[in-house]
Amino acid sequence: MVCKRITHPDGSVAILCTRGAGGRRQRCGRCGDPADYLCDAEVVKPGGTQGTCDAPLCRAHAYPAGPDQHRCWLHEREYQQAAQGGG
Ligand SMILES: [Zn+2]
Ligand SMILES: [Zn+2]
């Protein structure tokens, strides 16, 4: 997710966030190709709110995580390690 700080002429400030389609195309965090997907892994954001990782991912680096769901390489690795047990 890309967030932009907008200051209105009257001095009030708004934070504008874009996700997925619309706005500028994001780039894959791994290789820099145009990102078609965002990581859907659930994470706890700073401040304790629940959200999704939202790492931009190209076709090659979006690991399938279910119907219309994808994972970044970091969360894929976490998932693989968890799936192997090890604890
Ligand atoms: Zn990529
Ligand atoms: Zn992720």
Ligand nearest to the CA of 36: 1
pTM score, whole prediction = 0.67
Q: Are 57 and 30 in contact (CB under 8 A)?
A: yes
| Residues, CB within 5 angstroms of ligand 2 (ion) | 39, 41, 53, 55, 72, 75
Q: Is residue 81 part of a domain?
A: yes
User: What pLDDT digit, counting tens, does each position of 28-80 carry?
Assistant: 999 999 999 999 999 998 899 999 999 999 999 999 999 999 999 999 999 99
Domain assignment present for residue 1? The answer is: no
Question: Is 80 within the bounds of a domain?
Answer: yes
Give the range of the structural domain holding residue 70, as residue numbers without chain letter.
25-87
User: Ligand 1 mean position to 46 CA, how many Å?
Assistant: 26
Q: CA–CA separation, 32 vs 48, rounded Å? A: 30
In a domain, 52, yes or no: yes
Using the predicted structure, report yes or no on whether residue 25 has a pLDDT greater than 90. no
Look at the chain and report how many structural domains it folds into: 1
Q: Give yes or no for a contact between 37 and 24, defined as CB atoms under 8 angstroms apart.
A: no
CA of 9 to the centre of ligand 1 (A): 39
